[in-house]
Amino acid sequence: MMSRFDHYFQMNVDDVIEYTLEKATEIDWDRDSMEAVVPDSHGNLNYVYRIWDGKGHSLYIKQAGTETRISKDMKPSKDRNRLESEIIMLEDKFAPGMVPHIYFFDTVMCACGMEDCSDFMVMRDAMLRHETFPRFADDISTFMVETLLLSSDLVMDHKEKKELIRKFISPDLCDITEKLVLMEPYNDLNQRNNVFVPNADFIERELYNDPALHLEVAKLKFKFMTDAQALMHGDLHTGSIFIRQDATKVFDSEFGTYAPMGYDVGNVVANLIFAYDNGLAAGATAFCDWILETIEKTMDLFIEKFSKRFDEAVTEPMAKVSGFKEWYMEGILNDTAGYAGTELHRRTVGMANVVDVTSIADEQKRLLAERINIFAGKDYIMHQSSFRTGADFAAAVTKAKEAAEKTL
C-alpha cells in the first residue's frame, strides 16, 4: 500500500499522528488515545510537534520546512534534519545519555522522531525564572570535552574524520552563522539587525565604527570557515539545553559542523552572561553570583577534563610531543574568548536577539544589560590571550558591568 508520506509536504497536527504510527514503530502506540500538539517553546528554524498516548508513550516529531520559521527569506536545505539526527546519534556515542534518543529520521519528509524530554525544562526558560542548577557546570563541561575531543584529529582516524567533514557539511547553515554571527553585528550589511533604539548611538560607536574590532572578528570568521577542528554543536545556547536538577541533555544540533572547538565553549559562556543580565535587571543577586560561579567552574572543569581526557584518548603521535597539548589548549581558549564575544554581540544587536535581554522592560536596565554584553564581548575578542582560567572569564563580566554603569 502506498504511503501518503512518500513525498515531501509540510505536516500539521492532524498529519503527525498518522505519520508517527507509520514511522515510530519501536513504540507500542495506543492509536485510539493518541494526541498531538505544537509545543509553546520551539526554535527559529523547524516545525516541532509533541505526540503522546494514554499508555504513557510520547515523542517529538521535528520537521524541516522549506524556509525557516524566523524568516521566509532564509531557505536552508531541508536535508538539515538528516544532518542533525546523525550528529545527535554521534554525540550520543561520544557522550552517552547527554542528548535525546533518536527513534528515526526520514529523508523524504525531512523529519525525525526524538525522545520526549518534557520532564526536563528548557534551560533558558528556567534561567528567566532565576533557577540555579549546581550540576550544570560539571555536565556541560563533560559534554563539550567528550564530543569535541573525540571527534577531532587528536583521537579520530584522520580518514574517518575527513569523511565526517564531508558528511556533515551544511553550507546553508554555515552561511547563516558566517553572516548573522560573524559579520552583520559589526556592519549591518543586510539591514536586518535588531537594534534597541535608545542604544543605537552607543552601538554605532562601539560596534560599527571600531576597525580594530572588525579586524579581530574577520580573523574569527575566517577561522570558523577554514578550521575543521572538531564536530561542534554549532548553536550551544541555553535554549538548546534541557535541564533538571539531576541531569542535562543537549538538543538542536542542526548547526553542527566541523569548526573550531571554542565556538561551542564560547557560546555557553555568552549565554550564561545573558542569564546574568536578566538576573541583574531583576535584582536577583544570588542568581547572578551563581552565574558568575558557573562560568568560572564550567571553564575550569573544561580545561581540567580536556587535559585529562587528552592524555587518555589521544592517538595522533605528533599530538603527544612535549608542549603540544599546552599549545593546543591555548588555541581553544583563545577561540572560546573570541567566539564568546561574537555571540554576546550578535544576540544583542543581530537578527536573532535573546529574550533574556529583550524582556527587560525598564529602559535603563536594558541599556545596562546590552552595554555589559557589548563591553564584555569586546574584551573577550580584543584580549583573547588574557583568558586562561575560569576566573578570567568571570571577571570580564564584572569589569564590563562597571564600565557600562559609567556610561549611563
**Tens digit of pLDDT per residue, the chain (408 long)?**
568 999 999 999 999 999 999 999 999 999 999 999 998 765 667 889 999 999 999 999 999 887 766 666 777 777 778 888 999 999 999 999 999 999 999 999 999 999 999 899 999 999 999 999 999 999 999 999 999 999 999 999 999 999 999 999 888 889 999 999 999 999 999 999 999 999 999 999 999 999 999 999 999 999 999 999 999 999 999 999 999 999 999 998 989 999 999 999 999 999 999 999 999 999 999 999 999 999 999 999 999 999 999 999 999 999 999 999 999 999 999 999 999 999 999 999 999 999 999 999 999 999 999 999 999 999 999 999 999 999 999 999 999 999 999 999
| Range of the structural domain that residue 149 is part of | 121-406
Domain boundary among 69, 99, 115: 115
SS3 assignment, position 336: helix
Query: Cell numbers at residue 80, please?
Result: 538539515
For residues 97 and 208, state if they share a domain: no
User: What residue type is 318 in one-letter code?
Assistant: M
1 belongs to a structural domain: no
258 and 338 together in one domain: yes
DSSP category for residue 10: -
Identity of residue 232: M
Q: Is the residue at 195 inside a domain?
A: yes
CA 99, distance to chain mean position in Å, is 13
Residues 264 and 232 sit within 8 Å (Cβ to Cβ) = yes
Hunting for cell 599549545 — which residue is that? 327
End of a domain among 115, 149, 179?
A: 115
CATH code for the domain in which residue 31 is found: 3.30.200.20
How far is residue 293's CA from residue 301's CA, in Å, rounded to a whole number? 12
Q: Are residues 339 and 287 in the same domain?
A: yes
Domain-located, residue 3: no
What does the DSSP assignment read for 188-240?
Answer: -TTS-----GGGHHHHIIIIIT-HHHHHHHHHHHHHHHH---EEE-S--SGGG
Cα 316 to Cα 313: distance, rounded to the nearest angstrom: 9
Query: Cα 46–257–215 angle (5° rounding)?
Result: 105
- Give the CB-side neighbour count of residue 112, counting CA atoms within 13 A: 27
Contact 256, 165 (CB under 8 A): no
Please indicate, yes or no, if residue 330 is contained in any of the structural domains: yes
Query: Is residue 35 located within the same domain as residue 139?
Result: no
Domain count, the chain: 2
Point out the domain boundary residue: 71, 88, 115: 115
Task: Report whether 51 contacts 36 (CB < 8 A).
Answer: yes
